[in-house]
C-alpha cells in the first residue's frame, strides 16, 4: 500500500523534493502551492496530485495534510514556523527545509505532545552540514572547534552581483540582515551578518569570500563544541555590495510612504533582485561546502574535514542547490517511511547523525544520487 506524502511549497527545492519522492512507486505525492505554474512544472515530469492553495493559512494547511503519512515542508522562511506548527497541530509527521527566523525549539512541546517526528532544518546547511559536524566530532574525545563554510554560486561570474538565487530572494536577504550567533570559548556571541570577511581557497572552485551568517541555529544546543562558527561563501566583492544595500535601507521592512502608498523597501529590493538573481534553466551553478572539526589526538592537533562540491545535473537540469538541499529531506522522509527512524519529538537534522549507522545510510544514499562527500584528516 502506498504511503501518502504532502509537499508544501513548489519552488525550486520543494518541486525537486516532490519529484524525487513521486519517482518512488511506494509513495503517493501531493504537491501544494499558490502558484499554478510552479505546480505544473513538477506535475508535467512525474505523476503526482497538485493543489493550488494559500499556504499562509493554518486552517488550509490542516485540510491539505489530513491523512498524510508525512509532510515535507518547503515554504519560504517567513511562512515556515506557522506552517510547521499547523502540520504538527494536525497530527502529521514533518520533515522541513524552511529557514524560518523563529526558534525551532518552540515546536518541541507540541511535537512531543502529539508523539510526532519533526525534523527541522533538513537542507544542506543547516542540515547536512550539521550531520557532518556530529560525525566528525565523534572522532575526538574533546573536539575544540567547528567551522562550516557553505555557498551556492553560479558557475559563471556575471556583473553586477555575480550571484544567482535558486530559491526565494527574501530568504537570501535574510542571510544579510539576521545577526549571526556563534560560540566562542563556550559562550554564545552575536556578530552582525556580513561581518568578519575572509578569503578562503577551496578545491575545484578557487578563492571565495566568507562572511558571518546565522546558520548554526539548533546546533548551538545540540552540539557541544566550545568554538563553533558558520559562514556563507560568495565570490569576492559580493559582501561590500550587499552591505551597501543594507546600510542604505534597501533591506528595511519598515514601510516608507512613496507616491501616496506605504511601501516596504525590502519588497521593492526583493522584486528587483528576483529578476537579477533568477536562475535561468540551463545556467550551470554549484554548491560548495567545507565542514571542519579540530581537536587533539595522541597529543597532536588534527582537523577532520569533509568537502562537498556539487554542480548542476547536466542530464536532468536539476540545480546543485536543489539537489544538496532537497536530497537530505528526501532521504530523511524515505528513511522515516521505511521505519528506519524511530525517534519522535523535535529532531533538528543534525541529531539524525547521532546514530552512526543511520548517518552511514544517509551518506550511502547521497552517494547513489551523485552527491559526493570527501573526507580527510589533516594536521592543524
Q: For 104, phi and psi rounded to 5 degrees?
A: -60, -25
Residue 288 lies in a domain: yes
Residue 376 lies in a domain: no
pLDDT digits over 117-176, tens only?
A: 999 999 999 999 999 999 999 999 899 999 999 999 999 999 999 998 766 777 889 899
Pair (179, 73) in one structural domain: no
Q: Which residues pair with 72 in a beta bridge?
A: 7, 95
Pair (268, 168) in one structural domain: yes
Pair (246, 357) in one structural domain: no
Tracing cell 521505519 back to the chain, one arrives at 339
Number of domains present in the structure of the chain: 2
Q: What pLDDT shows up at residue 167?
A: 65
Q: What pLDDT shows up at residue 99?
A: 84
* In the predicted structure, residue 32 carries a pLDDT above the cut 80: yes
Q: What is the CA radius of gyration of the chain?
A: 20
Q: What pLDDT shows up at residue 279?
A: 79
Distance of alpha carbon 280 from alpha carbon 284, whole angstroms: 9
Residue 326 lies in a domain: yes
Q: For 328, phi and psi rounded to 5 degrees?
A: -55, -40
Residue 160 lies in a domain: yes
* In the predicted structure, residue 278 carries a pLDDT above the cut 90: no
Residue 339 lies in a domain: yes
Give me the percent of the chain exceeding a pLDDT of 90: 86
Pair (285, 334) in one structural domain: no
Q: Which helix (H) or strand (E) holds 136?
A: helix 128-137
Pair (211, 328) in one structural domain: no
**Residue 325 and residue 171 in contact, taking contact as beta carbons nearer than 8 Å:** no
Pair (133, 275) in one structural domain: yes
Residue 364 lies in a domain: yes
Region 206-231 average pLDDT: 97
Domain boundary among 284, 311, 338: 311
CATH number at residue 256: 3.30.360.10
Q: What pLDDT shows up at residue 365?
A: 98
∠ CA 228-231-233 to the nearest 5 degrees?
A: 155
Least confident span in 37-41, 58-62, 359-363: 37-41
Q: What pLDDT shows up at residue 165?
A: 78
Pair (117, 156) in one structural domain: no
* In the predicted structure, residue 320 carries a pLDDT above the cut 80: yes
Residue 375 lies in a domain: no
Residue 378 lies in a domain: no
Pair (171, 204) in one structural domain: yes
Task: Name the grid cell of 4.
Answer: 501518502
Query: Which of 22, 29, 25 shows the shortest CA–CA distance to 45?
Result: 22
Query: Which of 103, 128, 64 shows the shortest CA–CA distance to 331?
Result: 128
Distance of alpha carbon 41 from alpha carbon 38, whole angstroms: 5
Query: How far, CA to CA in Å, does 335 sit from each of 18, 98, 147, 366?
Result: 16, 20, 28, 13
What is the average pLDDT score of the chain?
A: 95
Dihedral (CA of 248, 252, 254, 260) sign: positive
Pair (69, 95) in one structural domain: yes
Task: Answer with the residue of higher pLDDT: 85 or 275.
Answer: 85
Pair (140, 218) in one structural domain: yes
pLDDT digits over 174-204, tens only?
A: 899 999 999 999 999 999 999 999 999 999 9
Pair (166, 232) in one structural domain: yes
In which domain, by residue range, is 53 found? 3-123+321-370
Pair (264, 325) in one structural domain: no
CATH number at residue 354: 3.40.50.720
Q: What pLDDT shows up at residue 46?
A: 83
What is 172-220 written as a DSSP string? HHHHHHSPEEEEETTEEEEE-TT-S-EEEEETTTEEEEEEE-S--TTHH
Domain boundary among 311, 332, 348: 311
* In the predicted structure, residue 380 carries a pLDDT above the cut 90: no
Distance of alpha carbon 206 from alpha carbon 220, whole angstroms: 30
Give me the percent of the chain exceeding a pLDDT of 70: 99
Q: What pLDDT shows up at residue 47?
A: 87
Task: Name the grid cell of 313.
Answer: 545535473
Q: What pLDDT shows up at residue 192?
A: 96
Task: Answer with the residue of higher pLDDT: 279 or 352.
Answer: 352
Amino acid at each position: 500500500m502506498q504511503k501518502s506524502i504532502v509537499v508544501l511549497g513548489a519552488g525550486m527545492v520543494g518541486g525537486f523534493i516532490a519529484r524525487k519522492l513521486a519517482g518512488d512507486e511506494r509513495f503517493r505525492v501531493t504537491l501544494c502551492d499558490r502558484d499554478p505554474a510552479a505546480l505544473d512544472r513538477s506535475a508535467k515530469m512525474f505523476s503526482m496530485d497538485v493543489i493550488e492553495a494559500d499556504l499562509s493559512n493554518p486552517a488550509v494547511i490542516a485540510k491539505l495534510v489530513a491523512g498524510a503519512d508525512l509532510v515535507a515542508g518547503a515554504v519560504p522562511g517567513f511562512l515556515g514556523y506557522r506552517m510547521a506548527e499547523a502540520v504538527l497541530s494536525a497530527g502529521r509527521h514533518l520533515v522541513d527545509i524552511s529557514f524560518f527566523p523563529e526558534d525551532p525549539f518552540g515546536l518541541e512541546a507540541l511535537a512531543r505532545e502529539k508523539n510526532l517526528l519533526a525534523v527541522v532544518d533538513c537542507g544542506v546547511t543547516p542540515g547536512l552540514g550539521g550531520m557532518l559536524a556530529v560525525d566528525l566530532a565523534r572522532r575526538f574525545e574533546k573536539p575544540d572547534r567547528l567551522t562550516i563554510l557553505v555557498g551556492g554560486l553560479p558557475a559563471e561570474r556575471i556583473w553586477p552581483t555575480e550571484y544567482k538565487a535558486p530559491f526565494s530572494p527574501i530568504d537570501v536577504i535574510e542571510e544579510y540582515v539576521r545577526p549571526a550567533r556563534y560560540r566562542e570559548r563556550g559562550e554564545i556571541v552575536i556578530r552582525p551578518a556580513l561581518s568578519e570577511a575572509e578569503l578562503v581557497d577551496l578545491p575545484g572552485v578557487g578563492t571565495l569570500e566568507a562572511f558571518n551568517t546565522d546558520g548554526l541555529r539548533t546546533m548551538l544546543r545540540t552540539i557541544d563544541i566550545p568554538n563553533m562558527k558558520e559562514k556563507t561563501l560568495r565570490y569576492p566583492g559580493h559582501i561590500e555590495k550587499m552591505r551597501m544595500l543594507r546600510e542604505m535601507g534597501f533591506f528595511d521592512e519598515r514601510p516608507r510612504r512613496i507616491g501616496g502608498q506605504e511601501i516596504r523597501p525590502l519588497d521593492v529590493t526583493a522584486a528587483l533582485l528576483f529578476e537579477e538573481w533568477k536562475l535561468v534553466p540551463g545556467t550551470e551553478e554549484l554548491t560548495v561546502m567545507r565542514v571542519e572539526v579540530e581537536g587533539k589526538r595522541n597529543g597532536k592537533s588534527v582537523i577532520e574535514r569533509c568537502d562537498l562540491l556539487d554542480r548542476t545535473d547536466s542530464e536532468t537540469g536539476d540545480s546543485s542547490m536543489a539537489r544538496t538541499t532537497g536530497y537530505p529531506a528526501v532521504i530523511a522522509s524515505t528513511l522515516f517511511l521505511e521505519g528506519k527512524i524511530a525517534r519522535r519529538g523535535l529532531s533538528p537534522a543534525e541529531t539524525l547523525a547521532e546514530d552512526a549507522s543511520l548517518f552511514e545510510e544517509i551518506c550511502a544514499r547521497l552517494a547513489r544520487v551523485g552527491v559526493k562527500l570527501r573526507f580527510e584528516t589533516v594536521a592543524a
